[in-house]
């Protein structure tokens, strides 16, 4: 039995499929594709990958249906395409491919379906039409369509937003929300956004009575999960920042449209921090997989480091945590080699029902307690002589998705002498508070394709993303 914290009831609850076919329906919100995902995003996606593997162990490999969407139209993707003078589809294809490559490098299982928002406009328009017909939505004077929050008394159940009070009333005027993502806002939210000149050719014909435009962000998850998994999900997940308003709005749309519970279980994992602050594009404090690879850290090590912290606690990222993760993987690799060296008989599956690894899996089944599970795993790995069987060890490692093959050779690109020289000059300028010169040198280094990452006492040079 897997027990997982449920954000709606705020308590751990057992996970189980509801449908008689025994298939567990699992949806998680995917990336917005306009740049490389950062390793904070990957913390969330890796926790979901761990969950997927654990669910398959529990219910059987063919008994989990996993859907993760790709947000390929929104303000950010459109802005990026406009800035680069490229068609939206080109930009989002590029970053979707990059996302897939990073996921593969991190040994993540691909979801069974990965719908793109622009690939399923009709499903979204259908849902908006139903909401209009049922009186849960209205068309504004510019041809945008809004969800009427006051028509759904349960609004706020997930985030307890009513306790915090909806900031600007719950209904009425759309308050200019049409050009924002409404992420911070508790007012009526856009289901459909009438096209603006900046949107260029990225417009579709809309719901009945609405203008040409594009879907709002929240509706894609409601519509695409319904199309691929049905009206009720067994589990819906995402990072904590999606709890409000994104998931609250998904619940409102889906339940008003379908008249049944949208998701039977909600799970939100916590953020990755850098120096105590959320890793995010807007703060500019992010690392990408490529940057870390450039510094010689293989993706398998990053996977370990990001899964080592409890998923429901914030995790502060440091380069030191990567060194520790590399050592931990080496210990597991050596332990496996010791098991593999033994005569075959010693590795026969244990006759007993219980294996030493039950404790490890027990911790994972107890609200995905990865630190406790890894603690138990290392207790086993420290045993001499080893008592476990190779097959059982591999099965548990498979749930973590750790790749124990020899690490890829250091990929750190050789830093050209000239770049080292400029970096030295810039560091000296910065130390002597000659910031204008330091900035000029930073730009020169950047133009040559390198980034200086400053720490307190020294710096690192990494190839520019």
- Positions that interact with ligand AMP (CB under 6 A): 29, 31-32, 40-41, 43-44, 238-239, 241-242, 271-272, 278-280
Rg of the chain, C-alpha, whole Å:
25
- Residues 218-257, interacting with Zn ion (CB under 5 A): 221
Return the one option of Zn ion, ligand AMP, none that residue 239 interacts with (CB less than 5 to 8 A, by type). ligand AMP
b/e code 351-368 from CB counts within 10 Å (16+ = b): eeeebbbebbbebbbebb
The yes or no reply on residue 29 touching Zn ion (CB under 5 A) is yes
Q: How far is the CB of 345 from ligand AMP (least distance, A)?
A: 46
Return the one option of Zn ion, ligand AMP, none that residue 309 interacts with (CB less than 5 to 8 A, by type). none
Per CB under 5 A, the segment of 26-34, 148-156, 432-440, 444-452 that binds Zn ion is 26-34
Q: How far is the CB of 228 from ligand AMP (least distance, A)?
A: 18
Query: Which residues in 112-249 belong to E strands, given as ranges?
Result: 137-139, 145-147, 189-194, 213-215, 235-239
Q: How far is the CB of 161 from ligand AMP (least distance, A)?
A: 17
Do 431 and 439 touch, CB atoms closer than 8 A? no
Q: Which is nearer to ligand AMP, 180 or 340 (CB)?
A: 180
The candidate with the shortest Cα–Cα distance to 381, out of 422, 333, 315, is: 333
3-state secondary structure of 314: coil
Do 279 and 43 touch, CB atoms closer than 8 A? no
Return the one option of Zn ion, ligand AMP, none that residue 298 interacts with (CB less than 5 to 8 A, by type). none
Q: Which long-range contacts (CB under 8 A, 24 or more apart) does 98-105 make?
A: 98/36, 99/31, 99/33, 99/36, 99/37, 99/70, 102/36, 102/37, 102/42, 102/289, 102/299, 103/45, 105/289, 105/299
Q: Which is nearer to Zn ion, 216 or 309 (CB)?
A: 216
Return the one option of Zn ion, ligand AMP, none that residue 221 interacts with (CB less than 5 to 8 A, by type). Zn ion
- Residues 42-101, interacting with Zn ion (CB under 5 A): none
What φ, ψ does residue 70 adopt, rounded to 5°? -120, 120
Q: How far is the CB of 7 from ligand AMP (least distance, A)?
A: 13
The candidate with the shortest Cα–Cα distance to 297, out of 177, 192, 410, is: 410
Q: Which is nearer to ligand AMP, 193 or 278 (CB)?
A: 278
Cβ neighbours, 10 Å, residue 106: 20
Do 206 and 212 touch, CB atoms closer than 8 A? yes
Q: Which is nearer to Zn ion, 29 or 190 (CB)?
A: 29
3-state secondary structure of 263: strand
Return the one option of Zn ion, ligand AMP, none that residue 264 interacts with (CB less than 5 to 8 A, by type). none
Q: Which is nearer to Zn ion, 96 or 171 (CB)?
A: 96
Q: How far is the CB of 109 from Zn ion (least distance, A)?
A: 19
Q: Which is nearer to ligand AMP, 17 or 239 (CB)?
A: 239
* DSSP states along 74-101: SHHHHHHHHHHT--HHHHHHHHHHHHHH
Q: Which is nearer to ligand AMP, 272 or 461 (CB)?
A: 272
* H or E element in which residue 67 lies: strand 64-68
What φ, ψ does residue 66 adopt, rounded to 5°? -115, 125
Q: How far is the CB of 265 from ligand AMP (least distance, A)?
A: 16
Q: Are strands 315-316 and 272-274 parallel, antiparallel or unpaired?
A: parallel
Q: Which is nearer to Zn ion, 221 or 235 (CB)?
A: 221
Q: How far is the CB of 407 from ligand AMP (least distance, A)?
A: 25
Q: How far is the CB of 269 from ligand AMP (least distance, A)?
A: 7
Query: Which residues in 262-368 belong to E strands, given as ranges?
Result: 266-269, 272-274, 277-278, 315-316
Q: Which is nearer to ligand AMP, 43 or 293 (CB)?
A: 43
Q: How far is the CB of 158 from ligand AMP (least distance, A)?
A: 15
**What distance in Å separates the CA atoms of residue 424 and residue 163, rounded to the nearest whole number?**
54
- Residues 184-223, interacting with Zn ion (CB under 5 A): 221
Return the one option of Zn ion, ligand AMP, none that residue 272 interacts with (CB less than 5 to 8 A, by type). ligand AMP
Residues at the contact surface with Zn ion, assessed by CB under 5 A = 29, 221
């Amino acid at each position: 039995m897997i027990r997982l914290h449920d954000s709606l009831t705020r308590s751990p609850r057992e996970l189980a499929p509801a449908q008689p076919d025994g298939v567990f329906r699992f949806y998680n919100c995917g990336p917005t594709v306009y740049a490389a995902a950062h390793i904070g995003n990957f913390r969330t996606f890796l926790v979901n990958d761990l969950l997927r593997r654990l669910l398959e162990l529990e219910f059987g490999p063919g008994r989990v249906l996993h859907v993760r969407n790709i947000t390929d139209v929104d303000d950010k993707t459109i802005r990026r395409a406009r800035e680069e003078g490229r068609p939206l589809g080109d930009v989002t294809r590029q970053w979707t491919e990059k996302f897939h490559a990073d996921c593969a490098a991190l040994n993540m299982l691909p979801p069974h379906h990965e719908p793109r928002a622009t690939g399923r406009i009709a499903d979204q328009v259908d849902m908006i039409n139903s909401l209009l017909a049922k009186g849960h939505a209205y068309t504004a004077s510019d041809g945008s369509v809004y969800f009427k929050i006051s028509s759904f008394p349960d609004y706020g159940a997930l985030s307890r937003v009513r306790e915090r009070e909806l900031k600007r009333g719950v209904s009425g005027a759309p308050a200019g929300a049409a050009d924002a993502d409404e992420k911070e806002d508790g007012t009526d939210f856009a289901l459909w956004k009438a096209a603006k000149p900046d949107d260029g050719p990225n417009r579709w014909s809309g719901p009945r009575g609405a203008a040409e435009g594009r879907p709002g962000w929240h509706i894609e998850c409601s519509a695409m999960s319904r199309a691929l998994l049905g009206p009720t999900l067994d589990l819906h997940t995402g990072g904590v920042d999606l709890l409000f308003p994104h998931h609250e709005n998904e619940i409102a749309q889906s339940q008003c449209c379908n008249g049944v519970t949208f998701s039977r279980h909600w799970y939100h994992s916590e953020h990755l921090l850098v120096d105590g602050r959320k890793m995010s594009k807007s703060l500019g404090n992010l690392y990408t997989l490529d940057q870390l690879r450039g510094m010689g850290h293989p993706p398998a090590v990053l996977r370990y480091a990001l899964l080592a912290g409890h998923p429901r606690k914030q995790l502060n990222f440091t380069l030191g945590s990567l060194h520790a993760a590399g050592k931990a993987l080496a210990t597991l690799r050596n332990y496996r080699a010791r098991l593999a060296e033994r005569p075959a008989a010693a590795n026969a599956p244990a006759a007993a029902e219980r294996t030493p690894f039950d404790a490890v899996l027990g911790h994972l089944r107890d609200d995905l307690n990865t630190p406790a599970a890894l603690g138990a795993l290392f207790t086993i790995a420290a045993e001499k002589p080893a008592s476990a069987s190779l097959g059982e060890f591999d099965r548990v490692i498979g749930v973590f998705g750790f790749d124990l093959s020899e690490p890829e050779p250091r990929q750190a690109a050789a830093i050209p002498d000239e770049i080292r020289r400029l970096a030295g000059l810039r560091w000296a300028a910065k130390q002597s508070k000659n910031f204008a010169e330091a900035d000029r040198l930073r730009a020169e280094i950047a133009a040559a394709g390198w980034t200086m990452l400053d720490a307190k006492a020294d710096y690192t040079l990494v190839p520019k993303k």
